[in-house]
Each structure stands twice: as C-alpha cells, then as structure tokens.
Amino acid sequence: MSDSTIEWKKVHPASVFINLVPQLIRILRGLWIIILVLFFSEENQNLFDASFFFILLILGIYRTVVHFLTLRYRLVDNFLEIKVGLFYRQQRRLDVARIQNIELRQNPLHKLFHLSELHIETAGSSEEGLLSALRIEEAQQLRVQIIEQKEVPEHPAQQEPSITLGTVDLLLYGVTSNQVGTVVVLSAIGSEVLSLINPRTAQEIASNISLQNAIGIILISFGLSWLWSCLRALLQHHRFTLSMSDHSLQTVDGLITKRKVEIPREKVQLAMLIEPWLRRLVGYGTLRIETAAFGIEDGHIRKTEAVIPMVERENFSSLLKKATPQLDADPWNETLHPAHPKALYRGIARGFLQSIIPIAVLMFIFRDQPYAPALISLSVLSVPLSILDWKGQGWLITPNSIVSRRGYVNRKTWVIDRNKIQSIHVYQSPFMRIHNLAHIVVYVAGTEIVLPDISLEQAHENYENLNHQWIIEEPKEVLEEPKEAPTHEVSLGGDHTIPFDESTIDTDIAE
Amino acid sequence: MYVPQEQLNGRVTFYWRISRLFRTAIVFLPFSVGVFFGVLAISNFWVALTASLLFVAHRFFYTLIWPAFEHIHYRFEIREHDILVQHGVLFRKWSSIPLHRIQHVDTHQGPLQRIVGLVTLQIYTAAGSTFDGAIPGLRPQRAQELQQQIIQNRGDDGV
C-alpha cells in the first residue's frame, strides 16, 4: 500500500541549463535524416543554418523547462515513483529490488551548482537523464536508501584456458565468412562513384566490359573481400583463448585492442551457433553467447557477448552444454520439429523477393550490356536455396530449453534456457493467416528467439505449455502450501503427531 | 485457444478515430494530392483521380471503421501468474508476460488521450528498451489499480 502522504520531490531548477546540451544532442540524433537532407540541398544555405539552429534551441529549451517543471519523484515503500511530462505524461513505479545499478554522475555544470545526476539502471534498460539534477545530499541519501536492498555480486574464481586459437584457425575463420552482400554493395557503390566522378570514363569502361571481364571483376571482388575478412578476423581474435570455471566463461582476444570478456554462467541469456556453409564444409562453427545488463562491475552495467570463432563440430554439443548447463537438449543429435509444409510457399516467395535486389543492382551496373535482361533468370537460383532453407528449419521445446534452427547458407541454431524467459508472444501476419501459420517469439533479457512457421494450433499449444511454466515456477518468497492437510495423525512409537501447521503459510505476499 | 477476459474502455475507439482523423488531415490529405499528381505524371486524369480517391477512401476506412474491429480484437487479462494481452485484426499478436518478470509498469498519456480521459499501460520486462505489452484505452483509475496490482508481485529477474 503506498503512503500518499509522502510528498513528491522536484528536480533542481538549474537542470534547465545542465540538461540543455544533452537534450539538444538527443534531438539532433532523432533528426539525423532531416539534417542530412537539408545538408545536401544546395539552396539557401545561410538561411537554413540560422533558423534551423534557432528552432533547435527553442525545442531544447522547451524540453528542459518542461522536464524541470513536471518531473516529480519519491521513494515510497520500496518503490521509486517518477512522474514526468506535460503533453505526454509518463508515470513509472519501479520496484527498488529491480534496480541493478545506481550511481551519481556529475559533469562540470553539476559541480558548479553542487548538484548531481542520479543515474538508475534496471536490467534491460537504462534511463538517461531522468533524475538529472538533484542536490548532492539528496542524491546521496536516495542512493543509500535504494542501495540497502542490493545484493553484492560474486567474484568469479580463476580458471585455465580450454580453447586456444592460432593464426591458421583464424585465417580459416576469415576465409569461411559469408561475404556476398559486401561484394555486391561495394561494387554498386564503386560503380556509382566512378560514374559521378568521371562519366565518360565510366561509360567507356562499362561498354567495354565483356562477359569474361565482368566475371573476372566479380571474382576479384570476392577475393578482395575474403582478404579483408581474414584481416579483420586476425585483428579481432588474435590469440583467442577460452577459459571456463564453475561460475563463468572468459574469453580473451584482440591484437590492437585486447578484449577480455567475462560472463557468469547464470547470466547467459542466449547461445547461438553460427555455421556459414563454407565453415560447415570444413567442419567448424562459431559459438556466440549473449547476456543482458548484469550486475555492478566497476560501477558499470555491462551488456556482453562472447564469441568463440572456431569450434569443431564434434565439440558443438559439449561446449554448448558447458556454456549453458541447464540445457537438456542436444540440437545435433536430436530431431527437431520441422517447419510446416505450407511455409515452403512463403519461403520461396521470400527468396524471390530477396534475390531481386542484388539482381537489380547487377542489372543496373551492366545495363549497357546485351546480356543484362537475361540476368533476371538468376532469380531462379533462389528456389533451391529456399527449399534448402526450409528443410533445415527446426524447433524444439524441452522442459528446460528452447531450440530454434534456421538457414542453409548461413545456418544458425539458437538455444535458450526456459528459466530466462521474460515474455512469450505468438505472432501472425495476414500472409501467415492464409496458410494458418504463426511465429512464436520468446524474449529473454536483451534478445529474443524466434520459432517460425508453425501451425497456429501448434503455436498456441506451445504458448499454453510455456505459460504453464509460470504456475510451476513459484517466486522464491512464496512458500509452498502443503498440498493436502494431513487428515490423520501418525503416531510413531511415542506420542508424535504431525499436525497441520498454519504458521508455515505466508499470507501477506499478495496485497 | 483461451481468450482473455477484459476489453478496453469503449472510448478508445473514439480516441483512435480522432487521432487518426488529425493525422489524416495533416499528413494524408496532402499526401493524396501528391499521389494524384504523381499518378498523373504517368497516366491520364481519370486514372490519377481514381488512384487518389482510392487512397483517401482507404484512409477513411482505416480512420472511421477500422477502430471498431480493433476494439473487438483487443483483449487483456491479469491472471494469477501472468498478464495476457491479445490484439490485432490483420496482424495478430498474443502476448504473455509473467508477473514476476515485470520490471516496471508505466502509464502513458498523450494530450489527446487526456482530453478523452484515457491512459495507456506499458509493461516492461528485462527483455528490452521497449515495452513487452501495452494496454491502451484504460480509465486512469483503472490503470492505477492495474499498475498497483501488477507491481506488487516480486520475483527474480531471470537476468
């Protein structure tokens, strides 16, 4: 029950000045497209500069003034309540236990007025500039009040490396990356830039390219992009090592910037195994582990992902199990539920549409060539790829995990622990409606897993099953009520009886 | 499949209609003029007229008639362990948010909503920076009640 006699507190008036610059930056970030367009239009440059920035300034001042005038906050009963807004009113009640990180931040303007921002982060979101300027004493007091509920995170123990990757492994990693998209985009950009700079040269080149030369150029582009991805792989993952302990996973890599990523096991939200077809061919895959904001570490919230660039196929299952111990499914040795047959139509249609863009680009580049129109026939290639994609699709729901697999050219397998589920959604677009299909989307902290192309009935069945989990999984504070009151009393030798003890039921949890 | 019990307040269709009417007047009517001239460039007068009239008709259908359907299909229920929200006519979505994963619940009210007297409830979990579920068309008092009711439940974050 909230005590409504606790009064609301306000933000300091100086916040209008202090917030102005950050607010302007935020507005600019939101308007970047307009700025770009205006920047590239030639007429009235001077006029636009002056009036544009004037309007921007007015907007910024308006926002900071509204923020100052309307923001109210108070701490009531372990809930932090914050209200803000004039036209668009927002009100938040935040359970203090949810706050993962809380810190005092000061910029020079703050220091001038003896103020500070109280920066609050919960799992999954961090609000910028909400409590933007409080008197230092107030901020500190509030922080202390909130922090009394915090748990201290454990410090991980030391561990020894279990996987190390050498230069050869990393070169293989670079070579087996899919680079088709990059090549097409680069070629398109390159040709357009060329025709802008020197139209006549571009024309000459374009009209002189025979089919053989065209193929040669494409091959060279592929070669260059492979070289590029090898270099990147070496730079990013130089001397990669993976170490695992009981509590956490640690990866260390990097040449110029050395990166050390440490993930406590229980913070793992999602594990993903990526197998581009070339890498699959040579028997390797990439393991990627995602987490969300977790805990306080040097005063910072961290969203981290760990990437293990090369894992041998025999080790997929065991490594996955070590990274996500609750996993009770083996996506490589179990059959997954296949995609619904009707999903094939959508898959092929989608493949066609996706192939149109690269083909259009190609046709544009070679538009002066006699063989240009024939390039359309390349879209037929998308059909076998779509069929392979559809065949490779699969999903699985086990008591502890959810598995999803998609893709052929770039096969990805996602795995989550059901205990990490944040929310579940079933989604159906009108096109899916035609075939009575639906997608299931399961959110975990910071990311999601999608089970596509399931029949609607099956999707809802899964939805209900997953919902049922909430009923079984009670939050820790609630004690189990005895399933049945013992109706008989057992006497064991002496006069022991087992009475129904009412004091074990905690009744004031739900209010 | 289970249909959640509660529906939105009837005023929400009024709110949807009014807010879409605004946007139609400000954005889409000029846009339809643009469509007219755009099609005129490729084709003759009558085709252009038909195209832009179709465009306007579709927009009015969406503004005046569609909200009724959307209202029918918008349902929610706060159960013992989770919140169910279901909405959408063409693009349908069923959502289930367990109570003990909810980080916070926001009420959001734009100026037009304030005139009509409605509020939107936005439910956040640790899943992301945007809400996992939203319930528009609630009377402010009801929204407060729901907000209190939901946020009382505690549990682990699953993070």
Cβ contact, residue pair B98, A421, below 8 Å: yes
A482 three-state secondary structure: coil
Residue B103: CA count within 13 A, CB half-sphere: 29
Average pLDDT over residues B142-152: 85
For residue B19, give how far its alpha carbon lies from the nearest alpha carbon of chain A (Å).
14
Neighbours of A438 (CB within 10 A): 29
User: Which residues, other chains included, contact A349 with Cβ-Cβ below 8 Å and sequence gap of 6+?
Assistant: none
Phi then psi for residue A195, to 5 deg, are -70, -25
Instruction: Identify the weakest region by mean pLDDT among A47-51, A227-231, A492-496, B117-121.
Output: A492-496
Give the pairing of strands A115-122 and A89-95.
unpaired
Q: What is the pLDDT of residue A202?
A: 61
Query: Looking at the predicted structure, is the pLDDT value of residue A434 above 60?
Result: yes
Cβ contact, residue pair A445, B98, below 8 Å: no
A357 three-state secondary structure: helix
Q: Which pLDDT band holds residue A44 (cuts at 50, 70, 90)?
A: low
More confident residue, A153 or A357: A357
**DSSP, residue by residue, chain B:** ----SEE--THHHHHHHHHHHHHIIIIIHHHHHHHHHHHHHHS-HHHHHHHHHHHHHHHHIIIIIHHHHHHHH-EEEE-SSEEEEEE-SSSEEEEEEEGGGEEEEEEEE-HHHHHHT-EEEEEEETT-SS-SEEEEEE-HHHHHHHHHHHHT-------
Helices B45-60 and B29-42 pack at an angle, to 10 degrees, of 150
Q: What is the pLDDT of residue A501?
A: 42
Give the pairing of strands A248-253 and A305-312.
unpaired
A148 three-state secondary structure: coil
pLDDT mean across residues, chain A: 75
On chain B, the residues whose CB falls within 8 A of the CB of A422 are 97-98, 101, 125-127, 132, 158
pLDDT tens readout for residues B49-106:
888 888 889 999 999 999 999 999 999 998 888 899 999 999 999 999 998 888 888 8
Query: Looking at the predicted structure, is the pLDDT value of residue A415 above 50?
Result: yes
Query: ipTM of this predicted complex?
Result: 0.87
Q: What is the pLDDT of residue A199?
A: 66
Cβ contact, residue pair B126, A123, below 8 Å: yes
Q: What is the pLDDT of residue A1?
A: 40
More confident residue, A432 or A180: A432
The amino acid sitting at B107 is: T
Mutate to test the interface with A, among B66, B87, B104 (most CBs of A within 10 A): B104
Q: What is the pLDDT of residue A89?
A: 85
More confident residue, B128 or A428: A428
Tokens (6 digits) for B47: 């085709």
Q: What is the pLDDT of residue A155?
A: 46
The set of long-range contacts for A148-151, using a CB threshold of 8 Å and a minimum separation of 24, is: A149/A78, A149/A96, A149/A97, A150/A99, A150/A296
- Residues A293/A446, Cβ–Cβ less than 8 Å: yes
Query: Looking at the predicted structure, is the pLDDT value of residue A404 above 70?
Result: yes
Cβ contact, residue pair B159, A292, below 8 Å: yes
Closest Cβ opposite residue A443 in set B127, B157, B159: B127
On chain A, the residues whose CB falls within 8 A of the CB of B90 are 429-430, 433
How many cross-chain Cβ pairs, A to B, lie less than 8 Å apart? 155
User: Which residues, other chains included, contact A331 with Cβ-Cβ below 8 Å and sequence gap of 6+?
Assistant: A273, A316, A317, A320, A396, A403, A405, A413, A415
Tokens (6 digits) for A312: 């041998």
A430 three-state secondary structure: helix
Instruction: Identify the weakest region by mean pLDDT among A37-41, A71-75, B107-111.
Output: A37-41
Average pLDDT over residues A453-481: 72
Cβ contact, residue pair A87, B103, below 8 Å: no
pLDDT tens readout for residues A300-338:
444 567 888 888 888 888 888 888 878 888 888 888 898
On chain B, the residues whose CB falls within 8 A of the CB of A464 are 1-2
Tokens (6 digits) for A82: 């914050």
Q: What is the pLDDT of residue A274?
A: 92
Phi then psi for residue B102, to 5 deg, are -75, 125
Average pLDDT over residues A186-209: 65
Query: Looking at the predicted structure, is the pLDDT value of residue A2 above 50?
Result: no
Q: What is the pLDDT of residue B90?
A: 92
C-alpha dihedral sign at A499, A500, A504, A508: negative
On chain A, the residues whose CB falls within 8 A of the CB of B88 are 428
Cβ contact, residue pair B129, A124, below 8 Å: yes
Closest chain A residue to B89 measured between Cα atoms? Answer: A430
Cβ contact, residue pair A477, B99, below 8 Å: no
DSSP structural state of residue A160: -
Query: Looking at the predicted structure, is the pLDDT value of residue A196 above 70?
Result: no
Cβ contact, residue pair B93, A425, below 8 Å: yes
Query: Looking at the predicted structure, is the pLDDT value of residue A487 above 70?
Result: no
Among residues A438, A478, A447, A84, which one has the least CA distance to residue B99? A478
Query: Looking at the predicted structure, is the pLDDT value of residue B43 above 60?
Result: yes
Q: What is the pLDDT of residue A293?
A: 53
- Residues B105/A93, Cβ–Cβ less than 8 Å: yes
Closest Cβ opposite residue B110 in set A87, A98, A477: A87
Instruction: Identify the weakest region by mean pLDDT among A4-18, A34-48, A325-339, A463-477.
Output: A34-48
For residue B115, give how far its alpha carbon lies from the nearest alpha carbon of chain A (Å).
11
Coarse DSSP helix, strand, coil percentages of chain A, rounded to the nearest 5 percent: 45, 25, 30
Cβ contact, residue pair A446, B126, below 8 Å: yes
Compute the distance between CA of residue A166 and CA of residue B129 in angstroms, rounded to an integer: 38
Q: Where do runs of H (alpha helix) occur along A436-503?
A: 456-472
**pTM greater than 0.95:** no
On chain B, the residues whose CB falls within 8 A of the CB of A269 are 159
A205 three-state secondary structure: helix
Compute the distance between CA of residue B96 and CA of residue B85 in angstroms, rounded to an integer: 7
A25 three-state secondary structure: helix
pLDDT tens readout for residues A264-309:
777 788 899 999 888 888 889 999 988 765 443 433 444 567 888 8
A190 three-state secondary structure: helix
Compute the distance between CA of residue A146 and CA of residue A134 in angstroms, rounded to an integer: 15
Q: What is the pLDDT of residue A405?
A: 93
- Residues A497/A491, Cβ–Cβ less than 8 Å: yes
Across the strands, what pairs with A80? A75, A94
Compute the distance between CA of residue B117 and CA of residue A272 in angstroms, rounded to an integer: 46
Instruction: Identify the weakest region by mean pLDDT among A4-8, A26-30, B118-122.
Output: A4-8
Q: What is the pLDDT of residue A245?
A: 79
Query: Looking at the predicted structure, is the pLDDT value of residue A509 above 50?
Result: no
Instruction: Identify the weakest region by mean pLDDT among A209-223, A422-436, B24-38.
Output: A209-223
Mutate to test the interface with A, among B77, B87, B103 (most CBs of A within 10 A): B103
Q: What is the pLDDT of residue B158?
A: 60
